[in-house]
Chains A and B, each alone.
Chain A
């Protein structure tokens, strides 16, 4: 699905390189949601996610010459977004305090059923909170790979491109990340 848009993205990049500023606006409109979503899951709060997503696009604009035409625009943007989020995590203590506001606001799972019973809704909310808390406990590299796989539904090849690692590393890291998440969630559920 995403590969079908590769040619369009490439055409947008070429237009932008030739000085067509409206191409950048089109890139923004096309990719803003997925980049914001990754930042939101990586950072856990709305304000930081908004800032990180904005920084991602600004960095992309300034470093357009680094974009390789054989790569996909969205994997390149994901890479910038993940690195930007990692930088946000390393921010100085006071900067983090002043910026962080509503920590981890409602990353809640939606129910597959249209009319959930109150019990199921409660259970789902509990699981959603445990999932959110579990993700937060993971190391940055485990969190990033699970978000790219489970939330963004990227293939192993795309994840390897985004994180600049081999497909073998993607396989083993996803397995370890799932095991780690399972253990973290078990701990969290036991505490409740």
Chain B
């Protein structure tokens, strides 16, 4: 009986919290929780294929964050390039190697423990350092502002950043030649 009353009170608190938050905030928290949970699952799943699928979910939630920040071009490019091209490449390689059975030997238990401790301390130190920083009080503009639209991005990309853009095409060409040379059977 008391448990039920407690649960009811909790639900009332939760619903009042929800009504106090705007839609943007609710979406932000949902996408953040989804991104973090699926990122954790990328690391802990045993089967590499499941890791790839969780990583795709992470990329979609990060794209959701881009849409929330009104960076529409980057959201679409993120989905096309990462979730569409790179992850399919990963899946093909995993299936080509027939790695989808759990034959990989695990790292030593101690080494895993030390790795988690090291990453956790980095997170702790960075959060503690940035918690009270002066610039951390600023606001990021959500759901408005035009700079994420393809019109303005394209203007700047093809005037100020045209040299890096052309250089990246050379980079792509050399990466393609490199991949073919390395992957060729001799």
A binds B: no
